[in-house]
Structure 1
Amino acid sequence: KLDADLTPQCATALQAVLDALGKKQGAEDTRTRRQRDHDALEEACRRLIGVGTLPDRAGQPTQILLHMSLDQLRGAAAGLATGAAVTLLICGRALWVQFLGPLRQHGSPWTTSIFRSAPGALVTPAGNLLFHTRASAAAAFPTASHPTGLWENLAYLGVPLLAVLLAAAIRFWRNPGVRATAVTLVVLELFSLGDGPLTLHGFRYPAVLLPWHWLQGLPFLSDVLPDRFAVVADGAAAALLAFSLDAARTAAPRVSWRSTSLVTAVAVLAILPLVPLPVQVTSATPVPAGWNTIFARLRLAPDAAVLVIPVPTALQPQVMRWQADTGEPGSLVGGWFIGPSRTGRAVVNEFGPAHAAVWRLDALSAGPANATGPTRPEIRQALAYWLPAAVVAVTTRGSRLWRFLTGLLGAPAMEAGRVLAWRR
C-alpha cells in the first residue's frame, strides 16, 4: 500500500492505476514480482502526473520516486550483504593468508614489458595449432631472437575469424550486445600490445600511441602482464560471434533452413583455425635409482625439512617432480616458486640467507670444471637457516659434490643407487 502522507484523492487514484497495471502479466512476462511492482508504480506516477491528478506542490512525485529507489537499494544491499558474508565464510582464511600472511609480497617478479603481444600475433598461427606453416610456427613461438622478446603467444585469432567479426560488427552495429563486445575486443587487443614501441611494416610507432603506456603506472595495474589481456579478448570475440549469430537469426525469423545452415557453416569455418593439435609429449627426468629406498630407511617425520641436492630452483626443478611422483620428502628445501624478497617484493629464485649456497651447490651438482662449492661460512649459514633433518644428494662416489659433502658432513649414513643421505 501507499504511504499515508499522500492526499486521500491522490492515493485512491494512484492505487487504482497500480491495481490495473499489476494485473497485466502475460505468459511472456519474465519479470520478477518486485520488478513488476516497481514498473507499475513508475508507470502510475507518469500517468497521474501527466493528467494533473498528482500535483507537485507537496513534492509527492519526488516522494514516490524516492520510495521506489529506497526499495531497490534495500533489496540490493541485502543481496550484497549476503554475498559478502558467504564469500568471507568460504574465502576469509585464504584471503587473510594472501594479503596479510607471512609470505605476503608486492610487485611482480617479471619484467612486464616483455609480456606483450606482437601486432602480427593476431594472424600468425603457432606450431601447436592444426593449421600452420613452418614459417608461421617459427614466427609465433617465443624465442630469444624474436623482435619483441615475447615469452608467450596468446593473441592469435586468425584471418577468417577476424574477417567474420569485422563484417558482423558492421552489419549488426545497432545491436547493443554486438556493439559492446566489439568495442571491448578492440580495447583489450590494444591493451595487449603493452607499453613499448612497435614496429609494423617497417614503421616504428612510439609507445605514447598505445593506451597501456598511459595506464600501466596506475595502482593495481603496474604489475599486470599486458599480453594476458588477449585471453580476455578471446572471450569478447566469442561473445561478439554469439551475439551476431543471434542477431542474424532473429532479424529474419522466417528464413529457410539453408540460410541458417550457411550462417552456421561460416561461423564454424571461422573458428576452425583455432583447433589445436594434441599436446606434445616429452620425457621427464625419471626418479633416480635408490630414491624410494633412501627415504624408506630415513623414516623422517612428514613435516621434516630435507635438503636435496641439486637444490630445486626455477632453472632445474626436477627434484620437485620426483617429490610429486613419490610423495617424498614431505617438506623440501628450495623450489620453483614466487616469494617475497628481503624487502617484501615478489621474486623468483630468492633463497634468503642461503641464496649463495644454493647456486654453488647446484653448480657442483652440474659438474662444470670451474665450479666451486659454498664457503664454510656460507654453508653453515645456509644449514642454520634451513635446519634440515637430512641431506640427500643425487650424485656418485668420487664426484666433486661427493667430495665436498663428505668433507663437510663425513661419510654418508646410507647409500642406494645414485642417492646418498646424511642425517642431521
Structure 2
Amino acid sequence: MRWGRPWISDVAACAFMVLVAAFVTRGLLADPAGRALSLNPGDQALDEWFLAYATRAYRGDFAFVTGALNAPEGINVLGNASLIGLGLLFAPLTLAFGAPVTFAVATGFNLAANGAGWYLLLSRTARLHRLAAGVGGVFCGFAPGMVSQSNGHLHMTAAWLVPAIVWCVVTLAQGTRTVQRGLLLGGLVVAQFFLGEEVLLLTAVALALFCLAFVATCRPIPRHVLPSLGLGLVIAGGVALALLAYPIWVQFRGPQSAPGAVFRPEFYSADLKSFAALSPLSLAGGNGATRLASGPSEYTAFFGAPALIAVLGATLWMWRRPAVVACTVVSIVLWALALGPHIVVGHERTEQWAPYSLIAGTPIVEWALPTRFALATVPLLGFVLASVVHAAITQTETLKVLVPVAVIAALVPLAPRPLPTADRAPVPRFFTEGYWRGYAPRDGTIVPVPLPDWRDPQPMRWAAATNVAFATPQGWFIGPYGTDGTSAVGVFPRPTSQLLHRALANANPPALTDQDRIDLRRDIAFWHASCFVLADGQAEAGALHSTLDALLGPGEHVADVWVWRARA
C-alpha cells in the first residue's frame, strides 16, 4: 500500500482546503439568495450581474461591449472586473440555481482551489514533505489578503491557475519539453486573463523579479536554462498575443473603453503598520486595525508579526538556498511597491517618497492598486515557510518537531473567521417568476426605481435573476464618464433619475414642473424604456410611488411590485 499513501495525503489535504473554504463562506452558503456580504454588498451585486451575464454565451449572445447595463450606451465588459472566466465556468450552475448560488460557491471554490493548487505544486514540483506542503498550501489559500479579497473581489481570488503557470515556468527552466510547455503556458495566460487580469499582472511582476533575484543569488546558472526558458516564453507570448490581441484592443481602445485609472493609488496604499497587524477578519484580529486599510476588501498586507518573524527566521536559517532568499528579497520589493507613492504610517500620510512613485501612471500598471502588490507575496512567503518546515523534518533530529510547531503556531492567529453576512431583500417575484415578460420584450429596458448606481447597485440583482434577459439603465461599473472621457464609476444620472433620488432622499414627492415631464419623455426615449418598476417594501416607497403616479398615471400592482408602463 506504500504507493497509495501519497495519494491519500493529497486527497486529505485538498479535502481540508474545501472544509476551510466552506467554513469561511458558511454565511453565504446557508442562504445565498437571502444573505449578502455585509462588508461589501455593492461589489457582490456587481459580481452577480456579471456571473448572470456570462450565461448569455450559452445562447450565443455574449459580447465584450454590451448595452445590457447602462442602457443604451452600455459598458465595456473587459474594462471592468467582469468575471468572464468564472462566469463561463459556472454558467450551468447559474442557469440551474441562480447567480447568488454561483457567487457563494465560487467564493469558496477560489479559496480551496488556490490552496490545493499551491499544495500540489509544493509537494509534487518542489518535492517538499507533504506536511510542509500542507502548511504552505493553507497559507497560500487562506492568507488574510485572500480572505479579505473574498469580500466581493472574485477576480482577485480566482488565482488557482497561477500554480500551473509557475509550474510551466519551472519546467521550462529545467529544459523539459520546451515547445509543449510554452504552448501550455500561453494557454494558461489567456485563461488567467479572463479569470482575473490583475492577478495575471501581479504574477508576471512577481515571476520576473524572482527570476532576476534567483539569477543574482545562484551561481553558476546551468547553460540550458536561459535558452529553454527564453524560447518557451517567446512561444507563450506569441500564443497569448495572438489570442488576446482583439480583447486587449477592445479593453483599451474599443467602445466605452475608459483611459486612466479610476481609483487613486494614494488611497489604495498599504499602511506601514499594517504588515505587522492582524487582519480584522482573522481569528486573533480586532477591529482596531480597520483604519490601517482602505476597506475590508483590502487587508492585503496584514501578515501579522508572528508570521513575519517566522519568515525572517526561516530565511536566516536557509540563507544558502537561492530560491528561499530570492522569495524573501522579492517579497520585500513587492511590499515596498505596496506602500504606494508616499509612505503611510498609522493612517497618516507622510511626504516620504516610496518606490511606487517610479511606476505610477505607467500604462497597464496603473490599473493595479498599489496595496495588492502585497498579495503577490503570499505564495512567496508560503514557499519560504514550507521550505523551513521541510528542512526541519527531513534534515534534523532535534528540530523536526519544534520548527513545524513553531511555524504553525505563528500562523494560527491568521486563521480566518467566516465572512460577515447580513440579510438582504429578496428579488421580487415579478422577476423570478417571469411576470416582467408581459411588460417588456426580451432585451428591452426595465427602469428600476430608484435607478441603480455606485451608492446602491442592488436593483442590478433584478436583471441578474433573469440571467440578464433585459437591459438596465445606469448601474455600478467603470466607464468613460470622467473629465474629458477618462475613467469614472457609473454615469451622471439623467434628470428623471435625479428627480426620483430627490423623492427618495426627502421622503416626499417633489413638486413637479412641465420641465420634469419633458425630461421624463426624453429619458424614456433615450433609455428605450418599456416600464418603471418599484418593489413593495422599498424604503420611502410612498414618495416614489406618488411621484411616478403624477408623472405616468396610476401604476399597476403585479405580484410584489408596482409597474408603470413607459409613455414617451
Compute the TM-score of the two structures, normalised by the length of structure 2: 0.53
**Aligned with 2:248 (options 95, 100, 107):** 95
**Aligned with 1:207 (options 341, 347, 352):** 352
Quick one: which amino acid aligns to residue 262 of structure 2? Answer: P
Per the alignment, residue 11 of structure 1 pairs with none
User: How far, CA to CA, are the matches of 1:333 and 1:155 in structure 2?
Assistant: 37
1:393 maps onto 2:538 in alignment: no
Give the SS at the match of 2:328: helix
Per the alignment, residue 113 of structure 1 pairs with 266
User: How far, CA to CA, are the matches of 1:192 and 1:182 in structure 2?
Assistant: 15
**Aligned with 1:364 (options 489, 500, 503):** 503
- Determine which structure has the larger helix proportion and give its number: 2
1:269 maps onto 2:418 in alignment: no
User: Measured at CA, do residues 337 and 299 of structure 1 come closer, stay the same or move farther in structure 2, by a change above 3 Å?
Assistant: same
Q: How many residues are paired up?
A: 343
1:420 maps onto 2:563 in alignment: yes
Per the alignment, residue 52 of structure 1 pairs with none
User: How far, CA to CA, are the matches of 1:412 and 1:200 in structure 2?
Assistant: 54
The answer to whether the Cα contact below 8 Å between 1:114 and 1:150 also exists between their aligned partners in 2 is no
Q: CA offsets, 1:43-98, max 9 Å, x none?
A: xxxxxxxxxxxxxxxxxxxxxxxxxx9xx86x778755653554356545533432
User: How far, CA to CA, are the matches of 2:458 and 2:550 in structure 1?
Assistant: 26
Per the alignment, residue 289 of structure 2 pairs with 140
User: How far, CA to CA, are the matches of 2:456 and 2:511 in structure 1?
Assistant: 18
User: Measured at CA, do residues 302 and 229 of structure 1 come closer, stay the same or move farther in structure 2, by a change above 3 Å?
Assistant: same
Where does 1:54-133 land on structure 2 (aligned, <5 Å)? 79=232, 82-84=235-237, 86-87=239-240, 90-132=243-285
Give the SS at the match of 1:420: strand
Quick one: which amino acid aligns to residue 211 of structure 1? Answer: P
The answer to whether the Cα contact below 8 Å between 1:356 and 1:378 also exists between their aligned partners in 2 is yes
The answer to whether the Cα contact below 8 Å between 2:510 and 2:547 also exists between their aligned partners in 1 is no
Q: CA offsets, 1:119-177, max 9 Å, x none?
A: 22122223321123xxxx22222xxxx47765632211112211111112222222211
User: How far, CA to CA, are the matches of 2:287 and 2:249 in structure 1?
Assistant: 44
User: Measured at CA, do residues 122 and 171 of structure 1 come closer, stay the same or move farther in structure 2, by a change above 3 Å?
Assistant: same
In structure 1, runs of 5+ residues without a counterpart are 1-29, 35-68
Per the alignment, residue 38 of structure 1 pairs with none
User: How far, CA to CA, are the matches of 2:380 and 2:288 in structure 1?
Assistant: 25
Quick one: which amino acid aligns to residue 239 of structure 1? Answer: F
User: Measured at CA, do residues 129 and 105 of structure 1 come closer, stay the same or move farther in structure 2, by a change above 3 Å?
Assistant: same
User: Measured at CA, do residues 204 and 84 of structure 1 come closer, stay the same or move farther in structure 2, by a change above 3 Å?
Assistant: closer
Per the alignment, residue 404 of structure 1 pairs with 547
Per the alignment, residue 45 of structure 1 pairs with none
Percent identity for Structure 1 against Structure 2: 27
User: Measured at CA, do residues 218 and 339 of structure 1 come closer, stay the same or move farther in structure 2, by a change above 3 Å?
Assistant: closer
User: Measured at CA, do residues 223 and 86 of structure 1 come closer, stay the same or move farther in structure 2, by a change above 3 Å?
Assistant: closer
**Aligned with 1:166 (options 282, 291, 312):** 312
Quick one: which amino acid aligns to residue 287 of structure 2? Answer: A
Q: How far 1:228 sits from its partner (Å)?
A: 0.9
Per the alignment, residue 383 of structure 2 pairs with 239
**Which protein shows a greater Rg?**
1
Q: CA offsets, 1:331-382, max 9 Å, x none?
A: 222211111216332211214xx54432332332455348677834443332
User: How far, CA to CA, are the matches of 2:562 and 2:340 in structure 1?
Assistant: 47
User: Measured at CA, do residues 372 and 32 of structure 1 come closer, stay the same or move farther in structure 2, by a change above 3 Å?
Assistant: same
1:228 maps onto 2:372 in alignment: yes
Q: How far 1:303 sits from its partner (Å)?
A: 1.1
Per the alignment, residue 37 of structure 1 pairs with none
| Residue range with higher mean Cα deviation, 400-409 or 331-340 | 400-409
Q: How far 1:197 sits from its partner (Å)?
A: 4.6
User: Measured at CA, do residues 270 and 323 of structure 1 come closer, stay the same or move farther in structure 2, by a change above 3 Å?
Assistant: same
User: Measured at CA, do residues 311 and 372 of structure 1 come closer, stay the same or move farther in structure 2, by a change above 3 Å?
Assistant: farther
The answer to whether the Cα contact below 8 Å between 1:413 and 1:423 also exists between their aligned partners in 2 is no
CA RMSD of aligned residues (A): 3.6
Give the SS at the match of 2:377: helix
Compute the TM-score of the two structures, normalised by the length of structure 1: 0.69
The answer to whether the Cα contact below 8 Å between 2:328 and 2:380 also exists between their aligned partners in 1 is yes
Q: How far 1:31 sits from its partner (Å)?
A: 6.3
User: How far, CA to CA, are the matches of 1:170 and 1:398 in structure 2?
Assistant: 64
Give the SS at the match of 1:260: coil
1:298 maps onto 2:404 in alignment: no
The answer to whether the Cα contact below 8 Å between 1:103 and 1:340 also exists between their aligned partners in 2 is yes
User: How far, CA to CA, are the matches of 1:268 and 1:76 in structure 2?
Assistant: 35
Quick one: which amino acid aligns to residue 385 of structure 1? Answer: F
